[in-house]
Amino acid sequence: MILSWVVTALALGVAVLAWMHTRRTARRVEQLSQMYWELKYQHGELRARLQQLTGDASAGVNTKPTGGASPGRNQGRSGGVVDAPGKKHRPPTRPEPDASHVQSQAAKVRAAKTMVKTNRRRGRG
């Protein structure tokens, strides 16, 4: 009887220690998060001040577009311009008035023959 009370007390003590450790860790994470956002804000302010002092609009900022062609020339994917050099667009397919994709699949299913082995039971038994 006493052994069960000792085990219960030890389990309660371990649970309290774990709870205290969790609260301490959560507080530390909250502090780190707050410090991160403050530092990020200060970094932005310092970068703006540096740009004002130097008069340079691109201090630490990459203003060049990251792409292959210049923005004035490229019409984008829907504009008909090929993104990769040396590649060509495929011509549009001609629509067939007699058959559509669904009709051709239905015809294939109707014409298909079942295999001879499919009637047998598989596996044991």
Residue 55: which pLDDT band, with cuts at 50, 70 and 90? confident
| Buried-exposed string 37-68: b where 16+ CB fall within 10 A, e elsewhere | eeeeeeeeeeeeeeeeeeeeeeeeeeeeeeee
Contact call for residues 61 and 76 (beta carbons, < 8 A): no
Q: Report domain extents, the chain.
A: 26-53
- Collect all residues with Cβ–Cβ distance below 8 Å to 63 and sequence separation of at least 6: 57
Q: Which pLDDT score is estimated for 17?
A: 97
Query: Could you read off the pLDDT of 68-118 as tens digits, one per residue?
Result: 555 555 555 555 665 666 666 777 777 666 556 666 677 777 777 666 666
Query: What CA–CA distance (Å, rounded) separates 100 from 91?
Result: 19
22 pLDDT above the threshold of 70: yes
Q: Which pLDDT score is estimated for 87?
A: 67
Q: Which pLDDT score is estimated for 62?
A: 52
Q: Which pLDDT score is estimated for 118?
A: 60
Q: Which pLDDT score is estimated for 58?
A: 59
Q: What is the mean pLDDT of residues 40-52?
A: 93
Which pair of tokens denotes residue 76?
């984008």
Query: What CA–CA distance (Å, rounded) separates 21 from 26?
Result: 9
